[in-house]
Structure 1
Amino acid sequence: IPGKSTVGIEVPNRKREVISLREVIESPEFQDSSSRLTFSLGKDINGRIRVATLDSMPHLLIAGSTGSGKSVLMNCLIMSILYKSTPDEVRFILVDPKRLELGLYEDIPHLLTPVITDLKKASYALRNATLEMERRLKLLATEGVRNIEQYNRKVRSKGYTSLSLFDNDEPQEPPRPLPYIVILIDELADLMLLEGNNVEESITRLAQMARAVGIHLVLATQRPSVDVITGLIKANFPARISFRVATRVDSRTILDSMGAEALLGRGDMLYLPPGSGRMIRVHGPYVSESEINEVVALWKEQSRAEYENTYLAPPPKQDEGGEEEGEEEYQGADDPMYEDAVRLVLELGKASTSTLQRRLRLGYGRAARILDVMEREGIIGPPDGSHPREVLKRPDWLAEVDNSLR
């Protein structure tokens, strides 16, 4: 027992206490936390409220057998963030292969995509999340900052207003605060079984590099075997939670020590904080389906969901040389999309690779080659750092060219 020269023996109560999510949310520990990614863990064996923050973890691995409380914790995590953050501060990508657990959150304004139940689309979403990570890393490097908090602070200090997150303009024109992105996968085993190599690569890259740009992963599985929680994944997830599991081997797989096989179930968990080898036993809170429905209905009244369906599209494939397949044969003005790109640039009055990528669904290399040809032909000016290129021709220039050729 801490602070005493005695040894304590844990004895379970005759009657189990039910900890409500409301009790944790109303606690000073939750209310005083400044992080937008604060979520409730429950109470420890001394009866103290325990909360955690995703941005300090920065990724979380959850394991537990059926009925142990794993899905309830996922719901408490989502609900905690819904209480703490607005849609322009935090966005979710929810992957629910079982089609039963996360469908309650369909159409809330915090969602970046519809709740994903198709495993192929889940693989695409992870691959596209790595592309978003790379885009954000370039943005941070351009501004000379090291993490998303510094970037957002710098953008706000410049006097830019935080426009609608669902605006289709360029994210850097003008710069605006970036939301955190939380990717929750409710059953990792199904995803690894069908899309193992692609999923492991995407998860590993995100786990290694996405912390600074505000992208966080929460992975849950009821089968914590080494073929699901591989060494690469495990090495990049220092924060872990285990509910009751079937065997000692499963406990060692998730926590690197035994003990989870002896838990009581129904919210009884062992929490391994990041950077600590000492586990904390916590009793998780309970949130009912009716409470979830009330909060979801309230958020739906405030705003409607606007999805970024590009996350569900197949990402551009690359060959060994790094060129995107199907694009290397086009050379600038010979590209069948060149004229459409010129029309788009003249219409918008600005030119950047990200504009062409998003509007015309092109890869980066192809969009960059088209801009190089436009520059040689005098349609746009040279690159100007992080700003879009200047358009040198009038909006009706292309129509005049068409008329002169007739």
Structure 2
Amino acid sequence: MVVSGVTLAAAAKLAGAGGSGAAAWLVWRSMPEQVFRRKLMYLFRFGNLYYKIIGYKGRELRSYPIIKRVSSYLDRTEAAFVLPVGIDPARINENEWLFRQVFGAGAELSMSEDAKTFVLSVYSTSVAPFEYDAAEVDECIPGLNLPIYVGRSRSGDVVYDMVEHPHLLIAGETGSGKSVALRSVLTTLIRRVPELELYCADMKRSEFHLFRGIAQEVVMDAAGLQRIVLKLRRQMRERGDLLDRYEVAHVNDLPAWDRPPYIILAVDEVALLKKKADIMEGIEEIATIGRALGVFLILSMQRPDADVLDGKLKNNLTVRMAFRHADEINSRITIGTGEAAAIKQSEKGRLVLKLDGCRYVQGPHLELSAAREMLEPYKNLEPTASEAQAPRETAEEQDEYVEVGLL
């Protein structure tokens, strides 16, 4: 075996000037970087992450990823490895859970643009809870059409553009941080997208009162949502006709003077609609064709329901935020892995983000009073007729009502 001369020399010094070669070898093998390499090679072998070649006389040859470097930092250990030509990089992302099994919850993967070089970062510390800061958020999202600020991972702030990654599902049990995430996501969109048309359906009657006077409509029942869905389906047909007229594939390609604004339909506790076939059909239509037409979904639910998240709808919700889930079964319904069940009850705001793989993120904490103050400049003085008639109830009263109904 060929080893680094510098590293082996350092090992010899640690073993003592008069130490034997065997002692130096043992010291070298026990160095953190070498232990890390061996664990990574173990993962490649037992995870079947290799490219198989049939050689002479049918002999099977295996080409494993090459570990280019292992580096230690104060807060993490990093390893860069390169895939052999022929391995689909999606296999690495699909097996991200395996890296956490071997290296722990602090393991995070990132892929370079060449689609073959990956960096595995294993962090020794977690991200502390933090408050939503509008100025800091704004620094992270320049140039994004529909900016979604997710929070912070160990490698920095996590943001993405909903136009590029359409539709969002936010799921998590009571008290996990789901409602706060929904609040912060919508607050960011309202502040940063001036022409946004927002429609809110608050099936739980506890959160969206904050957006009255800002959203086009805020409704509290299935009948109101059905009316909104019919309206949006009509608008999608009109936008489709507009794309045909200009012979373009996306609303972003339309000339500025004839480009309609982005539309977002946010539905809190969508699981309560599973028996409303007509509404769910409309929601599925938006999920299927809405991206090109500039119409997007943000759906949330406390308890994932396989009947609601069927294959068609689930596959079109390209981004999912999973806060703490009661068990691995529920977690798998949401993100395809059991990792959301491993989040502790004390870890408020911690989530698993499913976007090009899964990773842990700490979402920002945004108090209702702070959000109300931020959004005050965006409010219209006169509410719509539907908003004026909607009853207002406190979040505490409605949470209690929903919890009893779910038992």
Alignment of 1:189 with 2:267, yes or no, is: no
What's the offset of the Cα at 1:298? 1.5
Amino acid at match of 2:235: E
Partner of 2:298: 218
Give the alignment partner of residue 362 of structure 2, picking from 279, 283, 297.
283
- The one of 135, 141, 151 equivalent to 1:42 is 151
**SS of match in other structure, 1:285:** coil
Deviation at 1:296, TM superposition (A): 2.3
SS at 1:2 equivalent: strand
Equivalent in 238, 255, 264 of residue 135 of structure 1: 238
1:21 maps to which of 119, 132, 147: 132
Gap change, CA 1:26 and 1:201, over 3 Å in 2: closer
- CA gap of 1:237–1:15, structure 2 versus 1, over 3 A, is closer
In 2, distance between residues paired with 1:237 and 1:305? Answer: 34
Partner SS, residue 121 of structure 1: helix
SS in structure 1 at match of 2:207: coil
Partner of 2:200: 94
Check the 8 A contact 1:140/1:148 in 2, yes or no.
yes
d(CA) in 2 for partners of 1:136 and 1:52? 25
RMSD: 2.7
- Of the candidates 126, 129, 141, which is equivalent to residue 229 of structure 2? 126
1:296 aligns with 2:375: yes
**CA–CA distance in structure 1, aligned partners of residues 383 and 240 of structure 2:** 24
Indicate how the Cα distance of structure 1 residues 118 and 96 shifts in structure 2: closer, same or farther if over 3 A, else same: same
SS of the equivalent of 1:205 reads helix
**Displacement after TM superposition at 1:10 (Å):** 4.3
Distance in 2 of aligned mates of 1:298 and 1:307: 17
Q: How many residues align?
A: 274
Q: After superposition, what is the alpha-carbon deviation per residue over 1:77-99, rounded to whole angstroms, capped at 9, x for unaligned? A: 1111122121xx21100010111
Q: Structure 2: which 5+ residue stretches go unaligned?
A: 1-76, 82-98, 107-122, 387-407
Residue 73 (structure 1) aligned to one of 172, 175, 181? 181
Q: Aligned in 2, Cα 1:4/1:146: closer, same or farther, shift over 3 Å?
A: closer
* Farther-moved stretch of structure 1 (73-82 vs 4-13): 4-13
CA gap of 1:3–1:211, structure 2 versus 1, over 3 A, is same
Q: Measure, in 2, the Cα distance between the counterparts of 1:262 and 1:242.
A: 11
Contact 1:200 1:233 in 2 (8 A): no
| Counterpart secondary structure, 1:55 | coil
Distance in 1 (CA, whole Å) between partners of 2:146 and 2:385 is 21
**Alignment partners' CA distance in 2, 1:229 and 1:258:** 16
Tell me if the contact between 2:331 and 2:338 (Cα under 8 Å) persists in the aligned partners: yes
In structure 2, relative to structure 1, the CA distance for the partners of 1:307 and 1:58 (3 Å cut) is farther
How far does residue 308 in structure 1 lie from its aligned partner after superposition? 9.7
Residue 213 of structure 1 deviates from its aligned partner by: 1.2
Question: More relative contact order in 1 or in 2 (CA 8 Å, sep 6+)?
Answer: 1
Partner of 2:310: 230
- Report the TM-score when normalising by structure 2: 0.62
Amino acid at match of 1:140: L
What are the Cα deviations for residues 40-71 of structure 1, in whole angstroms up to 9, with x where unaligned?
1111133x011122111111112111111111
In structure 1, stretches of 5+ residues that fail to align are 157-175, 310-406
**Whole-Å separation in 2 of the counterparts to 1:306 and 1:100:** 18
Which runs of structure 2 are paired with 1:373-392 in the superposition (5 Å)? Answer: none
Letter in 2 for 1:189: A
Structure 1 residues 283 and 155, CA, compared in 2 at 3 Å: closer, same or farther?
closer
Aligned twin of 2:211: 105
**Contact kept? 1:112, 1:308, Cα under 8 Å:** no
Q: Which of these residues, 62, 70, 78, is aligned with residue 2 of structure 1?
A: 78
Identity, % of aligned pairs?
26
Name the amino acid aligned to 1:226: A
Query: Helix, strand or coil: the match of 1:93?
Result: strand
